[in-house]
Amino acid sequence: MAAIGFILLTYLVASFPFGLLVALVGCGIDPRRAGSLNTGATNVARLCGTRLGVLTLLLDLAKGLVPVLCARAMTDSVVFVSLVLVAAVVGHMFSVFLYGRGGKGVATAIGVFLAAAPAVALLAVAACVAVIRVSGYVSAGSLVLAVAVPVLCAFLGQPALVPAGVVVAGLIIYKHRDNIARLRAGQEKSWRKSPAPAA
Ligand code: G3P
């Protein structure tokens, strides 16, 4: 019962839409109605500037990091840690406070895997950053990160985390379906060409 309660609590905490709060308070813009319509760090940075984007990134990352660190402190069960991990990402993506809508899960996924398998998270982030730098597309980097996570889990001695990695990767790819369509059509916005943020 306590385990189920903690998983539900994780979902609830991760549902909190930090990006929406940061953008509304920080620059008076509702990210659900501007830019990519996403409440994540990329859109907050696009609309409100890099500093508020980084703040959103850190807060969304913490929503994943903290519950999984707690789960690992509570038990050695990889199944429980995997369920908490997925609950955090699902909470961010399908927020109870946003009527089932939410972000695309990348920052929270980084947080959960930093807590569960730090080497996996760091290498996946390195691959993500490299792709963003070369391509100019944050979404392309995010998709590479998503695919890299379960693959790295398999190759870096974390096979028990592969199922959770596959679920998280699938959810991130699903949430990026519009980005994928834009990338394929050559219409995705490069971060290099982002308009100046609102004052
Ligand atoms: O992590 C989200 C990023 O990959 C894409 O964000 O706002 O350009 O759809 P956005």
State the complex-level ipTM. Answer: 0.95
Paired tokens of 96: 């109870």
Q: What is the mean pLDDT of residues 32-57?
A: 96
- List all residues 6 or more positions away from 18 whose beta carbon is below 8 Å from its beta carbon: 56, 59, 60, 63
Residue nearest to atom 6 of ligand 1 (CA): 42
Q: How far out from the chain centre does Cα 144 lie?
A: 13
Tell me if 38 sits within 8 A of 85, measured CB to CB.
Answer: no
Compute the Cα dihedral for 118, 119, 122, 123 and give only its sign: negative
pLDDT in tens, 65-77: 999 999 999 999 9
CA-only gyration radius of the chain, Å:
16
For ligand 1, mutation pick of 38, 47, 54 (most atoms within 8 Å of CB): 38
Residue nearest to atom 1 of ligand 1 (CA): 106
Tell me if 153 sits within 8 A of 163, measured CB to CB.
Answer: no
Say how many C-beta atoms besides its own lie within 10 A of residue 130's C-beta. Answer: 12
SS3 labels along 113-143:
HHHHCHHHHHHHHHHHHHHHHHHCCHHHHHH
- The candidate with the shortest Cα–Cα distance to 10, out of 115, 99, 104, is 115
Query: Rounded to whole angstroms, how far apart are CA atoms 122 and 145?
Result: 10
Write the single-letter amino acid at 195: P
Which of 46-55, 135-144, 184-193 is predicted least confidently? Answer: 184-193
pLDDT in tens, 147-198: 999 999 999 999 999 999 999 999 999 999 999 999 999 999 898 765 545 4
How many angstroms separate the alpha carbon of residue 71 from the centre of ligand 1? 28
H/E element holding 79? Answer: helix 78-93
Tallying the residues shown for the chain, one arrives at: 199
